[in-house]
Amino acid sequence: MSLVILGLSHHTAPLPLLESMSLDPAGRAALAASLTRRENLSEAIVVSTCNRTEVYAESLTFHGAVTDIAEALTEVTGVAPDELREHLYVHYEDRAIAHAFTVACGLDSMAVGEAQILGQMRTALREGQRAGQVGPALNSLFQQALRVGKRAHTETGIDAVSVSLVEAGLARAERELGSLSRLDVLVVGAGAMSSLAATTVTRVGARSITVVNRTLAKATRLAERVGGAARPLGELPAALAGADVVISCTGSTGVVVDLAGAGDAQVARGGRPQVYIDLALPHDVAPEVDSLSGVSVAGLAALGDQLSGGTTPPQVQEVADLVIGEVAAYLTARAAESVAPTVAALRSHAADVVAAELTRLDQRLPDLDEQTRAEVQLAVHRIVEKLLHTPTVRVKELAVGGQGDDYAQALRQLFDLRPGEAVTALVPPERGGLA
């Protein structure tokens, strides 16, 4: 069994293809279900964000798994294999673990160091757990990735250099329109990204903020939290006309602001300049809107270009070093776990032998006083522990070096061990729940 990650991201694919590959919860569920029905895959988690669409899988065979994942992606998204193939990347075992930790820390995001990916990975794990598509391998990987991501934000200075896409968009709006304190901002949508946008707008100090959403109750809750006003989606045309900056991230599969709607808003505004910040994938704002006089559209691609480039901040290197250390520790722990059933079976076998011999001693010496019997029992246990110490420590050391399977097999043959029979009683269960 081996870990495989196959996917594409803003590093490898153009934005239109990322839009085609972006999956809503139903799409993620359909893809994960398709994956776990295939013969080469035993576990699967799908992570799909505005930056990436990735499949994390526990596989029986590497090449079979890659084929299965690629076929499932094509089946669910409708993207042709030839179009998809040149943009895909594959990570296997050690590299896959390093990639998962790097993603969780936000180092692979368009906005380096952003923390939203932690929530997205947590959601993906929950979805897989509820559907029964996550087993011990991926549960362990994602739990640890989430812990590493949290460490990155609590123990390093990455947040100080984590310029979000929202902040990049607002900086662009200020360059074109002037100080945000004199601008009215409209947030379209009330999900996680929209909530981040509204909070950021409030923090930097816009003149006013309005939230429009299909469900008015959600818009109202978000607006109340940031001291703004809420309007239903039916009032979007009027809201567009009153906004200097429009931030949209609805998760809709279609365009929310088309050319005609934006044109009508400009007429109502008397041609006053306006900036659209489109954070959605697929996009909420029709690309043609950028052609209107006085209107500027900043989408994910443009904002990503704005954030990229330059030298690597020391805080980013600090997180990269953290990831390296965590990967090494995870690999060591996982190697030790691989021989744990054999070690448990060996100790169980030794305990059975000790118990049988102590029972025989009781039968042969029924008048043995309790103190003497306790001393004999303690001495026997100490002898057994000393005899077992070296082989159990050694097998774990060899496992880290990649030789654990051979040594564990030798122990099983020498002592006639059946690990599966002892694991339930002697090995603590996998820890469940979320980090």
pLDDT score of 237: 96
What is the chain's mean pLDDT, rounded?
87
Question: Which part of the chain is CATH 3.40.50.720?
Answer: 165-307
pLDDT score of 294: 94
Residue 109 scores a pLDDT above 90:
no
* Sequence-ordered list of residues with C-beta below 8 angstroms from that of 82, at least 6 positions apart, any chain: none
Catalytic residue among 5, 13, 44, 50: 50
Return d(Cα 429, Cα 423) in angstroms, integer.
Answer: 9
pLDDT score of 433: 37
Return the C-alpha torsion angle 359, 360, 361, 364, nearest 10.
130
pLDDT score of 391: 77
Residue 428 scores a pLDDT above 60:
no
pLDDT bucket at 430, cuts 50 / 70 / 90? very low
Please give the average per-residue pLDDT across 397-411, as a whole number: 65
Please give the average per-residue pLDDT across 358-367, as a whole number: 86
pLDDT score of 400: 62
Q: Is 28 in contact with 121 (CB distance < 8 Å)?
A: no
Please give the average per-residue pLDDT across 394-419, as a whole number: 68
Burial class (CB in 10 A: 0-12, 13-18, 19+), 36: buried
Which has the minimum average pLDDT: 352-356, 392-396, 420-424? 420-424
Active site residue 50: yes
* Model confidence pLDDT, tens digit, residues 39-95: 999 999 999 988 899 999 999 999 999 999 999 999 999 999 999 999 999 999 899
CA–CA distance from 233 to each of 188, 230, 291 (Å)?
A: 8, 10, 24
The yes or no reply on domain 165-307 and CATH 2.40.50.100 is no
Q: Is 281 in contact with 19 (CB distance < 8 Å)?
A: yes
pLDDT bucket at 426, cuts 50 / 70 / 90? very low
* Model confidence pLDDT, tens digit, residues 314-343: 888 899 999 999 998 888 777 766 666 777
Question: Which part of the chain is CATH 3.30.460.30?
Answer: 2-161
* Model confidence pLDDT, tens digit, residues 185-230: 999 999 878 888 999 999 989 999 999 999 999 999 999 999 999 9
Domain range 2-161, CATH class = alpha beta
The percentage of residues in the chain with a pLDDT greater than 70, rounded to a whole number, is 89
Q: Residue 188 belongs to what H/E stretch? A: strand 184-188
SS3 assignment for 343-377: HHHHHHHHHHHHHHHHHHHHHHCCCCCHHHHHHHH
Residue 404 scores a pLDDT above 60:
no
pLDDT score of 154: 94
Residue 169 scores a pLDDT above 60:
yes
Structure tokens at 409: 């097999």
The percentage of residues in the chain with a pLDDT greater than 90, rounded to a whole number, is 57
Structure tokens at 102: 């790097």
> Averaging pLDDT over each range in 149-158, 366-375, 380-389, which range is the top one?
149-158
* Model confidence pLDDT, tens digit, residues 235-286: 999 999 999 999 999 878 789 999 999 999 999 999 999 999 998 878 899 9
